[in-house]
Every structure is written in C-alpha cells, then in structure tokens.
Amino acid sequence: MVESFRLATGGRIDRTRPLTFTFNGRTMRGSQGDTLASALLANGVRLAGRSFKYHRPRGIISSGIEEPGVFVERLGADASANEPATMIPLVDGLAARSVKGWPSPAFDLGGINQVLRPILPAGFYYKTLIWPSWMTFEPFIRQAAGLAHAPRTPPPPGTRFETRHHHCDLLVAGAGPAGLMAALTAARCGLRVMIADMNPEPGGRLLDRRLEVDGKPGPEWAVDTAAAFAGMTNVVHLQNALVWAVREHNLFMVREQHSGTDGPLERNWAVRTRQAVIATGAIERMLVFPDNDRPGVMLASAVQAYINRYAVGPGRRAVVVTNNDGTADVAHDMLRAGIDIAAIVDTRANTAERWRSRFPDVRVLDAAEPSGVVGRTRVRAIRAITRSGRNRAVTVSCDFVAVSGGWNPSVQLWSQARLPLRFDHPAATFLPSGRSGSLLCAGSAAGRCDLASAIADGAAAGTEAAARLGYEARPDLPAASDSAPFRIEAWWHPDAAGGSGRAFVDIMNDVTLADIRLAVREGYRAIEHVKRYTTAGMGLDQGRTGNVNVIAAVATETGQDIGDVGVTTFRAPVAPVSFGAIQGDRKGSAVLPYRHTPLTRWTIEQGAVMYEAGARWRRPGYFPRSGETMVQAVDREARAVRTGVGVYDGSPLGTFAIKGPDAGRLLDMVYTNRFSGLGEGAGRYGLMLTDDGRILDDGVSFRTGPHAFLMSTSTANAETVYRHIRKFLAFDRPEWSVRITDITCQHMNATVCGPRAREVVAALETDIDLSRDAFPFMTFRDGTVAGHPARVARVSFTGELSFEINVRPRNLRNLWDRILEAGAPFGITPIGSETNHVLRVEKGFLSTAHEVDGTTDPIDLGMAWILPAAKGDFIGKRSVFLRRASGRPRRELVGLHTEDPERVLPEGAPITENGRRQASVGFVTASVWSGTCGRSIALALIENGRARKGSDAHVRIGGEIVRARIVEPCFYDPSGTALRG
C-alpha cells in the first residue's frame, strides 16, 4: 500500500528509514518519526475505529494526548490496551488493532446501537433494566463496554520498571517555548533544574508550526536549547516524560517512557522540588455541531501538525471552521502544502474582510454556523448556515474539515494542587488564577498563546522561581516571529434543537448536546451531576477537547455565566500511567520484606512447613517426616517434649534492654504487676495493657543489674511494645532516666525443653551450674555454652523444664548443631510453632493472638493475681476497673472437653445458649488434638464462664451443635511441677 497522502517534502520524518506496520490486519508503511496516527493518515485510513456507546465510525481527530477518536490495542510483546493512536511512535513491525468495532470498524455489528439510539439517551440505564433484575442484563452490558482486552500475560521477561527519587530547585513541566525558556533562565543562574516533557522531542507546538525563534526555525531552536542543557551539570532534561501528578509537600510524579532496547520500559520519578513551573501548553477545542465526529473532522492544530511535522496531508480539499484568528496560520500552511481550501466558515460576524486580505482566493462565510456533515464513514461535504441577512444554507464539498473552537490551557497540574481557575471571557477559556508560593504557570498554559509572549512569560517564570530561592536571573529573550494577537469570539453550540442528538460534546464517550440538555432538564444541574449523569469528560481522553463545551452547554441551559458553572475537579493522573511504572521495582520481598534467623535456611533444608508467623518472621510450623500428616508430625514433636527433649528456635521473640535509674519504675508502669522488687538474675512473667485497658502483650522480664532489665515480648507484638514504651517515655515521662534498646537481633536463642533438657545442656559443656537449686526456674545465668558466650534463661513456654540459650547471632547455627549432636542420644526433636501451640494450649498458657479478644482483661483470663491491688498506678489500671464498673457480664477463659473426645473444634467457633442460632455468649479461642491428653482440648471465652464450670457449652458450627464440658483451662500438670523441675 502506498502512502498516498504523504507530502513530497518537509516534515520531521526520516524518509530514508521506512517502517512496516499492521493495523487491523492490514500491512502498511510509514517512516521513522511517524506516530501510528500520522502513518494511518499518510496511508489514507480515515475510518480507524468505532465509538464507545453508539459504535459510530470514527477517525483521527487530533495529533496528541487529547485524542478522543481513535484508540488502539497494541499486540505482541508490547501488548497494551487503549492507547490513543496519536501517542504511539511508529516502530518497525508494530501491530495494533482498533479497540472498538467487531468484526471490523468498517463492518461493525455493534452499530445496531445507532439504530437504538433514540431510546438510549444519557442515563437511560437508570430508568430501565430493573425487571427482572439488573443482573439479567449486566453480562451483556459488561461485554459491550470496556474498550480493549485486559492483558492475559505479564510483560515479557526482561521488561523492567524502575523508580527513581530526585531532588531539585525547579521542576519545569513541558519543554515548549515557555518551558524551555523557564528552564534555561533558571539554569543559567545556577538552580538545579529538571525539565520534563511528554513528547519524544522538545519544542512543543514549535514542532507543528513554521515559526522562527532567534532567527532560526523553531524546532532547531528547541534542539539547540536542549543541547545547551546537555552541557549543564545542573540540568536534568527528560523527554517522553509526563509530569502526571502533584502531591503533598511539592512532590511531583514523572513517568518516563523508553522505547530503547535496554534500560527499563518505564521509569517513575518521584521529584521533590522547591519550585515548579507548569508550562504544559494548551489544547485546541472542538466545535459542537451535528456530526462533528465524522471521520475527517479534525482539529485545526492537528491538521497543521500533520502537515508540518509529519508531512501528511489529511486530505486534498478542506473546509476550515473556526471562531478565532489562530486558524489563519493553519490555513496558510495548508495552502502552502498544496491543499485546497474550499471554504472558511467563521462563526464570528464581520471577519470576512480580514480573511480575504490574507487569503484572497478562498471563499469565506462569516457569521456562519456549521450545521452538519455529509458522509458517514468519511467527510464528503459540510453544511453551514449563514446568519447574515436571511438564513442561508450552504453545502461545501470537501474531504476533511479543520475545526478550531479556541484553546484550553492544560491546567491539570495547577488544579491538582488545589489552586483555583477562573473563566476569562476575552480568552473564552478557564485560566489559572490565585497564587502559590511554589507553583508558577507559564506560556499558553497561562493563556499566553502567541509565541513571543509565551517565550517572555517562560523567561519571567524562570526569573521569578529563581528570585524566590534567592537567585537573580537575567533572562536573554530571543526574538520570535509570531506575535499576532489571538482573537476569539466564543460560539459554543447551535441554538436549534434539531440535530443536537448528533452534535457531540464528548466524542470519546459519545455524549451529545442533547444529552447535556436532557440532564439539565431532569434536574442534574450541578456540573458534577451533569458529568456523572452523562459521563461527559470521564473517558480516557479526560474530555480535553470538549469539557469547556460541556460547561458552556450547561451555562446556556441553566442561564448561568460559564464561570459560575465552574469546572469539575481535575484528578491525577494527567494522562493514564501504567501500574507497572508506579510499582517500579517494588515486588515480592521488596513489598513485604521478611525476617529470618540464622537457622531459617537449615529449617527450610529440613523440609519444615514454613509460614509467616507475625512481625514478618518466617518460621517452621512443623517438621514432617516422609508420609506424616500434620497431626502426626505435631503429635510426635509434642510427645518428644513431654517425654524426652525437644528444641526450637526462639530467636524472633522481641528482646529489649532497659537501662537507667528509673528502669524499675518504668517496668512497674508498663506491666500490671511489680518488677522493681526483683532480685538480680531473677525474672517474672508480666502483662502489659494499653491505657484504655486492653491487653497489649505478655512476656518475661529479668533483672540484669541494679538499673538494668531484659524484657522479652511476643514475636508479633515486639515493635508495638517498643513503640508504646518509647512513646510513653518521650511524651509522658520525659524526665525519667531510662532508655530502652531493641536487641532482638543481637540475641538469638535455641530453647531446649523437656524432662531431659538438663542432660542435653550439660552435655554441651557449660560452666553454668545447671542444678535445680543453683539455677531455679525464672532466673538466668551468664556463662559459656558449647564454647560460646551465652545467657541461659529458665523460662518455659511449653510447661516443661526449659533452657533458653541466648548467644550472638553468628554463633547460633553452631550452637544448634551442637545441641542436635548432644541431644541425639536422647532423641532430641526440633519442633515448630504448631507444636508450641499444642503445648501451650495443654498448659492453658496465654497467647495474646488467641485468648485476647476485644476488651478481654486479665481478670477474664483468670489472672486477677497479676493486678495487685496494693500496687500504685500502671498503664491501663484505671480503665480495667472503669470498664468492670458497668456490671456487664464478662467473657471468661475456660477449658472445653468435647463430648466426643476425637472431635477437634474449629478455632473461632461461636458458643450460644443451648446452641440456638442467635447472638453468641462466647467462642473457642484455641483448639487442638492433644496426644498427651489423648483427646481433643480447647480453650474458650464464655460469658460468666468460671461459674459455668461443670456444665455444657454448645458450640455452633454452621448448622451443627457440638456439646463440650466446661473445665479448668489447664490440661497438663496444673501444679507446674514439670516446668520447675
């Protein structure tokens, strides 16, 4: 296929580098420097897609990010959905297809919706499809909606995304004339500058036009300026980089895309800047008239871009429809490119003379309104009505239409920063207003449309940004060839109701003028209501070419001034940004880091079942031997501890050193019971509460010196406890002389437990006297164990004789090996957390993750002894007793024996009065099979549970009621003989 609409000369494409691509299965050719859109136009493709709701034929309308007409799905390795054809740089072998249109845009079965259009006005779905139920229709609606397909596979291997952090003095968004000048001015006086622009090349609209700056063609000046940046170490210059969000504390997000072969596909920059200049340009508006969406109706600025930048004539014979003087430049470039202008339709009155003085051979209709388009899949003619004298209808044949409804500054970033906009009647658009201490707007983004004032404005913004940071800039203003004033008289839409159903205000989302009128008629008058009811402006293009037209239509219908209707909120992102770019390289353990002990690798090698055990520690659940089920493995491990000896890695328990003259006072304050009276070397179990009387944690603390304690916490709550204590000291008792240090990772331990634990530890060679009298329960000793300096503590979480051997982390693996060696004759068995759970349930030991529920307090848990009445204030004291003063029944900890001893209850199962299906009176907190007891055992919290001992509880498991006898919450060695052994 030939590029029959390619101009012979000009453009910024490289004709020596032809490229081949496929679109909707057809193979075509383009050139390096093309976008998919320009290549399609060069190949004469007019009908390139179908619309969202009515499946109307659509063609390319714009040349940039504002494209509302043609969205494509990229295929192959670059697969991505819903890309505007105007933003895809052409590469060799590119394959794409239209997003809508099945089986093809030319023969689209969904076109049936065009026939149904009369009963599908805005919001029709709110009024119908209720019977028999929405879900009857939903699958069809879902299938019909939704544009492109979701990707089915992850990006190919090697695709990388990256995040980078950057700090600078000035961020300039946009590298058009204003942005380049702002950056240049600020950089020359020494500011650290970042300039980011979303297009492949700098220059902005200079690339689309034939203007001169500093005596050379505009694009050349942009290239030279960029070259100057390259020579400055204080400038970072990015192209293909969209500034997509403004966040708190001057944080800007910039998405940089790479088309190269190496490096990341996309890089997301988090830029913290002191000042920012928004020089993001402006976007041309469509005019609202019947069939303004027909393929071939294009924005005038796009026509100019295709001619000058891509050397493509969108057609042979054009009609220009305008309400401003800016289009004169476009008309000039069209004629120069050999395109015939059949007519200029100007909605303003008395402009014919002005046009004729410039274009003597062109037919001009002033005071004229476009009233329709002839041609369905491509423009064949345009209709207009002139208002002068009597209404005269005119039809002018043409093969494309260049439309300009004026310009909308791209003020998204300004608006995202919650800065105001105001409607400016002379410019017929919304302009940034208000003032910010760190943001400036420049160039056409601030409504300065002609080149000379855009350049001056950019330089002024750079100067101002520098001045705010204490620098003095001396801008050097280059001469510019264009300084013609931009004149506009708004013409928003036809008055006549006729045809308004086909006059589109939002082409992407198929919203017509009639839809806006209907919405207002039905009471949806607030602009947010109109937007939501009609979906205007909510498409991928964010309604860039149509939003102001929507606002104007609402103003007309409600009789308000446009400025009073106001704008809808601009929200990030400025344009769609892939989630991959936002993710960067945060994946897997970078999202959720995990912690491991020196034994984790050994544990995994043993084939242990590993899982997350709180506070991001990975721990073994149990160590199954081949063929063993979980229950069998846990049974075996538990039996070893009860009858022989077991060993486990207790390293993840939180460990804190507390030192200072007020250390004892601090512990007395954070624990419910007293610690200040402990003797050196002795330890005690304690409970910690929050001030609103909820249980925070439990653990054992030892006195290690006159002013020093060693505190241990549960694994999961270690950080919470640490934060709690530090906060209390920082704000509530800053005068106390005491410090807490997290030494969890300085102390790692292996805990040997079981009746034969003492023999195993003795076999390790230690200078510590292990005898019961010399080393009683709840004390610790420092010494040497297996050649390593060690602190050995006699605490027990299993109910058996236990030695917790703490060593430096680097010695733990060796200690572990030595323990297994020394324990081998005794059948030592490594045990996992599941076994620990069974052992502690047998003993009725507290697990805060299980037995603490909501406002459970120590008395509920049968630990009234831990709240000594004689003790002074401690954290949580007041609240525990205040809560109890209400007299409401409390849920108390009890044990359960199921009627059927084999039946293991599910943890969490509710208990109700007589098993009725009603609000519960308690629930099963923990439940296990106990090999030691030879039956199922459980712990539960039940209202007034202690008074119910001996009676039955009714556990309700779905429809089933399981009876269980309420017993003491301790199933093994209630006197504690074993652990003191």
Partner 1 sequence: MLLVLTTGRKNGDDRGIGVTTRRTMRKSIRQRYSLATLALGAVGGHKRWRPAWQSRPLSNRYDIVIVGAGGHGLATAYYLAKNHGCRNVAVVERGWLGGGNVARNTLTIRSNYLRDESIPFYVRSVSLYERLSRELNFNLMHSRRGMIDVIQTWPRLREIRRRQLAMDLHGSAYKQIGVKELRRRIPALTGGGPDSRLPILAGMVHTDAAVNRHDAVAWGYARAANGLGVEIHENTEVTALITNESGAVCGVRTHRGPIAAKKVGLAVSGHTTTLTGPAGLRLPLRSFNLAAFVSEPMKPVVDVVVNCPDLGVYLSQSDKGELVIGGAPDPGQSFRRDVKQTVFEDAVCAMLELFPTFQRVKLLRQWGGHLDIAHDASPILSATPLTGLFVSAGWWGGYKAIPAGGLAFAHLLATGTPHPLMEAFTLDRFRHLDFILESGTTVVV
Partner 2 sequence: MLVIPCPFCGPRDEREFVYGGPTSARRPHDPTALSDSQWVEFLTVPDNPLGPVRERWWHARGCGDWVEILRDTRTHEILRDRDG
Give the residue, chosen from 247, 332, 380, 659, that forms a contact with partner 2 under the rule CB under 8 A. 247
Identify the residue among 10, 110, 121, 783 touching partner 1 (CB under 8 A). Answer: 121
Tell me if 156 sits within 8 A of 77, measured CB to CB: yes
Total Cβ atoms within 10 A of residue 720: 17
Under the binding rule (CB under 8 A), the answer on residue 472 touching partner 1 is no
Count how many residues are written for the chain.
Answer: 981
List, as one string, the DSSP characters of 775-817.
S-TTBEEEEEETTEEEEEE---SSSS-EEEEEE-HHHHHHHHH
User: Which neighbouring-strand residues pair with 892?
Assistant: 942
Q: 671 by DSSP, 3-state: which?
A: strand
Which residue among 135, 730, 870, 919 contacts partner 2 (CB under 8 A)? Answer: 730
Start-end of H helices in 887-970: none
Are 752 and 647 contacting, i.e. CB atoms less than 8 angstroms apart? Answer: yes
Residues 498-537: x where in contact with partner 1 by CB under 8 A, - otherwise, as a string: ---x------------x---x--xxxx-x-xx--xx----
Per-residue binding letters, 737-776, with partner 2 (x by CB under 8 A)? ----------------------------------------
Binding flag, residue 248, partner 2 (CB under 8 A): yes
Q: How many residues bind partner 2 (CB under 8 A)?
A: 23
The yes or no reply on residue 873 touching partner 2 (CB under 8 A) is yes
CA–CA dist 397, 317 (Å, integer): 8
CB-based burial label for 37 (10 Å; 0-12, 13-18, 19+): buried
870 sits near partner 1 (criterion: CB under 8 A): no
In angstroms, the CA 26 to CA 387 distance is 45
The CB-of-96 to partner 1 minimum distance in angstroms stands at 14
Q: Using an 8 Å Cβ cutoff, are 847 and 837 in contact?
A: yes
Closer to partner 2 at the Cβ: 564 or 873?
873
The runs of H, that is alpha helices, within 651-802 are 663-670, 718-727, 757-763
190 binds, among partner 1, partner 2, none (CB under 5 to 8 A by kind): none
Task: Give the C-alpha separation, 515 to 536, whole Å.
Answer: 9
Per CB under 8 A, which of residues 251..280 are in contact with partner 2?
251, 270, 272
Site for partner 1 in 44-83 (CB under 8 A): 79-82
180 makes contact with partner 1 (CB under 8 A): no
Of 195-203, 220-228, 722-730, 800-808, which part binds partner 2 (CB under 8 A)?
A: 722-730
Beta carbon nearer to partner 1, 757 or 880:
880
Place of tokens 């010695």: 811
- Residue of 10, 22, 114, 124 that binds partner 1 (CB under 8 A): 124
The tokens for 16 are 């020596």
Interface with partner 2 in residues 392-431 (CB under 8 A):
418
Residue choice 44, 91, 97, 129 for contact with partner 1 (CB under 8 A): 129
N- to C-terminal Cα separation, the chain? 93
Among 731, 773, 888, 950, binds partner 2 (CB under 8 A): 731
Instruction: Scan for tokens 């240090």, then name that residue.
Output: 741
Residue 79 or 484 having the CB closest to partner 1? 79
The verdict on 735 binding partner 2 (CB under 8 A) reads no
888-927 residues near partner 1, rule: CB under 8 A: 888, 906-910, 912, 917-920, 923
* Interface segment toward partner 2; rule CB under 8 A; list 119-127, 248-256, 564-572, 798-806: 248-256
Nearer of residues 203 and 876 to partner 2, judged by Cβ: 876
Among residue numbers 773 through 812, which ones bind partner 1 (CB under 8 A)?
none
- The alpha carbon of residue 182 and the mean position of all alpha carbons in its chain are separated, in whole angstroms, by 31
CA angle at residue 910 from 907 to 913, to 5 degrees?
145
The span of 40-48, 181-189, 578-586, 769-777 binding partner 1 (CB under 8 A) equals 578-586
808 lies in the binding site for partner 2 (CB under 8 A): no
What is the pattern of x (binds partner 2, CB under 8 A) and - over residues 73-92?
--------------------
Q: Which of 233, 579, 731, 951 binds partner 1 (CB under 8 A)?
A: 579
Per-residue tokens: 190 = 């020494």
454 sits near partner 1 (criterion: CB under 8 A): no
Nearest to partner 1 of 175, 909 (CB atom): 909
Q: Which residues contact 926 (CB under 8 A, 6 or more apart)?
A: 837, 841, 847, 850, 851, 907, 938, 939
Of the listed pieces 29-37, 89-97, 133-141, 212-220, which binds partner 1 according to CB under 8 A? 133-141
Q: Residue 142, Cα to own-chain centre: how many angstroms?
A: 24
Say which entry of partner 2, partner 1, none residue 732 contacts (CB below 5 to 8 A, set by partner kind). partner 2
- 284: tokens are 């041309």
Cα–Cα dist 614/718, whole Å: 10
- Residue 246 or residue 638: which is nearer to partner 2 going by CB? 246
| Cβ distance to partner 2 smaller for residue 570 or 728 | 728
Which stretch, 21-29, 113-121, 333-341, 814-822, contacts partner 1 (CB under 8 A)?
113-121
Q: Please answer whether residues 888 and 857 qualify as being in contact, where contact means their C-beta atoms are separated by less than 8 angstroms.
A: no
CB of 744 to partner 2, least distance (A): 14
CB atoms within 10 A of CB 532: 16
> Quick one: which segment of 475-483, 816-824, 872-880, 926-934 binds partner 2 (CB under 8 A)?
872-880
Minimum gap (Å) between residue 729 Cβ and partner 2: 9
Segment near partner 1 (CB under 8 A), from 277-285, 547-555, 662-670, 721-729? 721-729
Shortest reach from residue 853's CB to partner 1, in Å:
6
Concatenating the DSSP letter of every residue in 194-263 gives EEE-SSSSTTGGGGTS--EETTEEHHHHHHHHHHHHHT-TTEEEESSEEEEEEEGGGEEEEEEE--SSSS
Tokens of 556: 């007309």
> 873 touches which of partner 2, partner 1, none (CB within 5 to 8 A by kind)?
partner 2
Q: How far apart are CA 939 and CA 851, in angstroms?
A: 8
Question: Which of 172/921 has CB closer to partner 1?
Answer: 921
Nearer to partner 1, 561 or 692 (CB): 692
Residue 340 near residue 400, CB atoms below 8 Å: no
Tell me the two tokens of residue 558. Answer: 């409600």
Residue written as tokens 């390319």?
A: 60
Candidate residues 727, 772, 810, 871; the one interacting with partner 2 per rule CB under 8 A: 727
Q: Which residue in the set 275, 280, 416, 512 belongs to the binding site for partner 1 (CB under 8 A)? A: 416
Closest distance of CB 927 from partner 1, Å: 10
Q: Is 138 in the site for partner 1 (CB under 8 A)?
A: yes
Residue 584 backbone class (left: φ over 0; alpha: ψ -120 to 50; beta: rest): left
User: Diameter of the chain by CA atoms?
Assistant: 118
User: Measured from the CB of residue 956, what is the shortest distance to partner 1 in angstroms?
Assistant: 7
Give the shortest CB-82-to-partner 1 separation in angstroms.
5
719 SS3 class? helix
CA distances from 454 to 388, 567, 805 (A): 36, 25, 74
Please name the residues in contact with 464: beta carbons below 8 A apart, sequence gap of 6 or more. Answer: 440
* Interaction partner, residue 877 (partner 1, partner 2, none; CB < 5-8 Å by kind): partner 2
Q: For 785-823, give one letter per residue: b (16+ CB within 10 A) or e.
A: bbebebbbbbbbbbbbbbbbbbbeeebbbebbebbbebb
The contact set with partner 2 (CB under 8 A) reads 247-249, 251, 270, 272, 418, 691-692, 719, 723, 726-728, 730-732, 873, 877-879, 882, 885
